[in-house]
């Protein structure tokens, strides 16, 4: 969604529109019963909760997969991205991170390196 809107990570201009577009797309899939993956960095319980609540209204199957790489690997992976995230944005996300709790969704999986 961010690439379609031609905005870069760390640039908060247009975030609301991007999130709204993503939610509308998800609702379309949910209405049609089309399986999909919400692939996004939802670092706080509040952010995840909004999406989980939306999916629950459609009786969708919900699974959280928490992926964590070591700090140095994270930075190396970021350098190799087509659309690199600014270092200060990564640091802010790390500070705000709330690891998902097992009770947040029917299935919560942890993949930690």
Q: What angle do CA 94, 26, 86 make, to 5 degrees?
A: 30
pLDDT of residue 68: 95
Q: For residue range 39-68, what is the model confidence (pLDDT) as tens digits?
A: 988 999 999 999 999 999 999 999 999 999
**Residue with more model confidence, 2 or 86:** 86
pLDDT higher than threshold 60 for residue 6: no
CA distances from 88 to 37, 44, 81 (A): 27, 18, 16
55 alpha carbon, distance to own chain's centre: 14
What is the percent of the chain with per-residue pLDDT over 70, rounded to a whole number? 88
């Amino acid at each position: 969604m961010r690439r379609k809107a031609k905005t870069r990570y760390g640039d908060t201009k247009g975030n609301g529109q991007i999130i709204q577009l993503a939610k509308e797309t998800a609702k379309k899939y949910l209405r049609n019963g089309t399986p999909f993956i919400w692939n996004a960095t939802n670092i706080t319980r509040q952010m995840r909760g909004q999406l989980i609540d939306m999916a629950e209204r459609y009786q969708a199957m919900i699974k959280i997969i928490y992926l964590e790489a070591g700090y140095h690997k994270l930075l190396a992976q970021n350098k190799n991205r087509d659309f690199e995230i600014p270092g200060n944005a990564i640091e802010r996300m790390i500070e705000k991170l709330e690891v998902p709790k097992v009770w947040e969704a029917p299935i919560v999986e942890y993949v930690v390196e």
